[in-house]
Amino acid sequence: MNRAIQRTQILNGHLLSSSPSQSSSLSQKPCLNYNPPELTESYEFDLGEMRKLLDGHNLEDRDWLFGLMLQSRLFNPRERGGKVFVSPDYNQSMEQQREMTMKRIQYLAERGVFTGWLTSRGIESELRMLAFIDVLAIFDHSLSVKIGVQFFLWGGAIEFFGTKSHHDKWLRDTENYVINGCFAMSELGHGSNVRGIETVTTYDTKREEFVISTPCESAQKYWIGGAANHTTHTVVFSQLNINGRNQGVHAFIAQIRDAGNLCPNIRIADCGHKIGLNGVDNGRIWFDNVRIPRENLLNSVADVTPDGKYMSAIKDPDQRFTAFLAPLTSGRVTIASTAVYQSKIGLAIAIRYSLTRRAFSVTPNGPEVLLLDYPSHQRRLLPLLAKTYAMSFAANYLKMIYVKRTPESNKTIHVISSAFKAVLTWHNMRTLQECREACGGQGLKTENRVGHLKAEYDVQSTFEGDNNVLMQQVSKALLAQYIAARKRNKPFQGFGLEHMNRPCPVIPSQLTSSVLRSSQFQTNAFCLRERDLLNRFAAEVSQHQSKGESKENAFLLSYQLADDLGRAFSDRSIFQTFIEAEATVSDFPLKNVLGLLRSMYALICMEEEVAFLRYGYLSTNNAAAVRKEVTKLCSELRPHALGLVSSLGIPDAFLSPIAFNWVDVNSWSSVKN
């Protein structure tokens, strides 16, 4: 009751201070001014060292590319509130946005940004390329996607599926944009289910040519990035029919334009305007018995002899099909990483705004309170910031295992990239929405970026694999690992499941603050959840099979446990990357704030993920203790908020006006100028 009275008094005081009778006193008060948060906020750790930890690699290369974009009018610099900001002009038409994307690519190509992307080998070259994609995505999703299609999908398909003759013929011209390529896998009737695509390719032994055809409307290639306007060639994924026998999905090179004109027997239509990503010219392609040379089959996995004999060293059709999905792994790696950087942008803008924007007072006629000094506002943003830190470490780990890949590690990379791509893109959508709301009406303005980024990045949840499908693939892989280990009666090895070989963790009946913040307790909680869900999932699938269900149908019937398990695997894997990153730090102030962030990540996962209560890993009392500890961590992270967003590696020019002097930006003088 006392609290209700207090709240009523505060609200009454606010209303009275706004009434006409108080106008004279109000007129004596100074207007609101923007005060940079740097004047009042302090840094208790080294921002540069934190940025090194977060970006992980190629900091100088990143800064060089940021600077390169700031030098050109092509990147739409605007002066707002005494600072220069760059971002695409989304008021342009779809056609204008597409042309600007190509002009920016040409500018970057002329300055050597893409040098070595396909013709140099080695870990350093690949890391530099991945760093550049991160930076380009910070400016514009369309730009990074268009470049990603050229190098990771079209170029990656030639690199992975092709042999030396293909590499020699196509890669350098691709790197120099003599050839502009696209990746024709998705169809109107088949997206995630690549195995079911309907495009058909046959072989003509007399002319030693393949013939590609679109047999029905649902087989038209759909959402093909670059196809509508700019690309000259495409990698076509098609069923290969040899002598009446379907050999499954294979990849072919086909030319679709010559000197700007469509090639014979090619039809292309525009996919049209989208909710975002309008700088990419997505198109639809029909192949009307298009003939290509026999050599245009990308033949690292399988080949067809001049007389029409099919040959492959991989006899198992399932393994052969898996090999054809390799380029999608690089796509998932870049999607996961760029999603994290968009979350960083949203949080940097929303938190900087909340450190200067005030609302309401807690005492009659008292000063208004900074948004981030409200516990509720801290609760909205700081757990998301901790998650973003954790996911930065996860994305860095994913990039490192990708650039160090071996044939033996490909399966692990597939599983981890599928899990991280899903979780990190879901997190990005949730984060941008919360940041948009936390900025109030200012979050609606396109120039303030946050709201528009939601539309631009929404597509990440479904392209390069629908997130829900990817998570089910993760659970299926874990189940296969479980069955294999039990069948051989050998320890678990791979996917981080080695914890299954140890005794089952026990959660204390009472959780104190020190226990909740212990990395050992946090590790045990994540491992217990994953372990139990994997056991439950295996048991439920087995139970369905014992009742006569097929293996495939048993899995489908157990989809709820599959979803829970996929999330448990992802959360535990992300947490492990945080532990490993934290272990590399010796500086105490840095280690201290990382410990707070790690505890926040672990505990907010436990609070938000219903599985911890559903399956009894936490009692209701322990769940309440977790919730209380999250609130305490918010108050302890609050003094570090500015330092944490200033360490994210996003230059001021790539944020937005409300992250800085939002009063000057909206002043009458700015309207006149």
Say if residue 379 is in the same domain as residue 411.
yes
Tokens of 221: 């290639």
Asked whether residue 166 is assigned to any structural domain, the reply reads no
For the segment 261-301, what is each residue's pLDDT rounded down to a tens digit?
999 999 999 999 999 999 999 999 999 999 999 999 999 99
Residues 538, 475 share a domain: yes
Would the pLDDT of 479 be above 60? Answer: yes
Indicate if 550 and 644 belong to the same structural domain. yes
Whole-number pLDDT of residue 29: 52
Statement to judge: residues 274 and 366 lie in one domain:
no
Q: Give the residue ranges of the annotated binding site for FAD.
A: 225
| 309 and 338 co-located in one domain | no
15 has pLDDT over 80: no
Give yes or no for a contact between 282 and 231, defined as CB atoms under 8 angstroms apart.
no
Alpha carbons within 13 A on the beta-carbon side of 546? 6
298 shares its domain with 329: no
pLDDT digits (tens, 9 = 90+) for 510-565: 999 999 999 999 999 999 999 999 999 999 999 999 999 999 999 999 999 999 99
pLDDT at 25 over 70: no
The residue out of 293, 318, 343 marking a domain boundary is 318
In terms of Cβ atoms closer than 10 Å to its own Cβ (0-12, 13-18, 19+), residue 206 is exposed
Q: Are residues 518 and 612 in the same domain?
A: yes
Number of H helices, E strands in the chain: 26, 17
Task: Note whether 394 and 283 are same-domain residues.
Answer: no
Summarised one tens digit per residue, pLDDT across range 49-105 is: 999 999 999 999 999 999 999 999 999 999 999 999 999 999 999 999 999 999 999
- pLDDT for 364 equals 86
Average pLDDT, the chain: 93
Instruction: Dump strand ranges (E) for 276-428.
Output: 282-287, 290-293, 302-304, 310-312, 358-361, 368-370
With a cut of 50, say whether residue 27 has pLDDT above it.
no
Domain stops at, among 279, 300, 318: 318
Q: Domain range holding 397?
A: 324-487+511-654
248-259 average pLDDT score: 96
Both tokens of 36, joined, read 């940079």
pLDDT greater than 60 at residue 17: no
Question: How many domains does the structure of the chain reveal?
Answer: 2
- Does residue 196 sit within a domain? yes
**Same domain (yes/no): 473, 423:** yes
DSSP code for 260? T
Among the candidates 267, 288, 318, a domain finishes at: 318
pLDDT score of 641: 98
Token pair, residue 649, equals 């590696």
Same domain assignment for residues 298 and 375:
no
| Coil, helix or strand at residue 232 | coil
Distance, CA of 408 to chain centre: 25
Angle at 423 between CA 643 and CA 482, to 5 degrees: 130
Q: Give the catalytic positions in this structure.
A: 464
Give yes or no: residues 383 and 518 share one domain. yes
130 domain residue, yes or no: no
**Neighbour tally for 241: CB within 10 Å:** 15
Work out the average pLDDT over 604-630: 97
Residues making up the binding site: 225
Backbone angles phi, psi at 359, to 5 degrees: -155, 130
DSSP 385-414: HHHHHHHHHHHHHHHHHHHT--GGGHHHHH
- Supply the CATH number for residue 203's domain: 2.40.110.10
Regarding whether 471 and 385 lie in a shared domain, the answer is yes
Q: Which of 2-6, 336-340, 527-531 bottoms out in mean pLDDT, i.e. has the lowest?
A: 2-6
- Concatenated DSSP letters of 145-198: HHHHIIIIIIHHHHHHH--HHHIIIIIHHHHTTSS-EEEE--BSS-SS-GGG--
* Residue 389, domain member (yes or no): yes
Distance CA 41, CA 593 (A): 15
Instruction: For residue 283, list its beta bridge partners.
Output: 224, 270
Lowest mean pLDDT among 7-21, 109-123, 437-451: 7-21
Q: List the one residue out of 421, 312, 331, 318 whose CA is nearest residue 150.
A: 331
CATH, residue 557: 1.20.140.10
